[in-house]
A = this chain, B = another copy of it.
Amino acid sequence: MDYIKGIAFDLYGTLFDVHSVVGRCDEAFPGRGREISALWRQKQLEYTWLRSLMNRYVNFQQATEDALRFTCRHLGLDLDARTRSTLCDAYLRLAPFSEVPDSLRELKRRGLKLAILSNGSPQSIDAVVSHAGLRDGFDHLLSVDPVQVYKPDNRVYELAEQALGLDRSAILFVSSNAWDATGARYFGFPTCWINRTGNVFEEMGQTPDWEVTSLRAVVELFETAAGKAEKG
């Protein structure tokens, strides 16, 4: 792995658990939290893809709010302004997956440049990462906002290359979203898919270079490679 000099991480669903909003949804609509969270996430993604294709970008906070409105209307739930605001704010305080803080420190300690490359707005990314106390671990927080289009458009992946000042072949892209990992691999990043929940990969003509079950396993990839290099 010594050709890898930097890592670009997806944020939502990869480092942070988007379904950590289930509790908040359940408080607002008892017994419906899981259902709301699942459809909300699905629609949030669809709106980023569709708006990109229509060339009608709105930022991620807006797309997230729109998706919540749709979700509640679809489920026949009355969403007042206060609840909407509470639930959208929950997206700014997502919880990181448990192994994430320690694993990021390990990767940083190895001298790798670390970047977030996210659909989020600059404000959302900063809020989520800062709330978890992880802001200092990253060299770059990269939002799609400057290019006004969402993943998996190549213009987004290019942002990481530019910011890290590295060729794409030297940047490991890490995502739990199989469609994002597919886009990254077509772009030319060596790509690791974190598959925490036993999903199957997308059928779009790519497979990830590595498939692991947690970020801890990404650290181990580097440790194993370093161990081999020492022995060799």
Whether B204 lies near A74 (C-beta < 8 A) is no
What sequence of 0s and 1s flags, for each residue 20-60 of chain A, a beta carbon within 8 Å of any chain B beta carbon?
00000000000000000000000000110111111110100
Q: Does chain B have a CB within 8 A of A229?
A: no
Contact with B along A138-177 (1 / 0, CB 8 A): 0000000000001111100000000000000000000000
Tell me if A200 counts as interface (CB < 8 A to partner B). yes
Number of copies of this kind of chain in the complex: 2
A69 CA to B54 CA, complexed, in Å: 28
Which among A9-17, A85-93, A106-114, A179-187 touches the partner chain? Answer: A179-187
Residue of B nearest to A156 (CB): B53
Interface residues of A in 91-132 (CB under 8 A from B): none
Q: Within the complex, what minimum Cβ distance (angstroms) separates A49 from chain B?
A: 4
From 188 to 219 in chain A, residues with beta carbon under 8 angstroms from any chain B beta carbon are 199-200, 202-205
Q: Which chain B residue shows the least CB distance to A51?
A: B204
B52 and A53 contact, CB distance less than 8 A: yes
Decide if B154 touches A204 in the complex (CB within 8 Å): no
B54 A202 Cβ-Cβ under 8 A? no
Determine the chain B residues whose CB is within 8 A of the CB of A53 once the complex forms.
Answer: 49, 52-53, 150-153, 183
CA distance in complex: A96, B105 (Å): 58
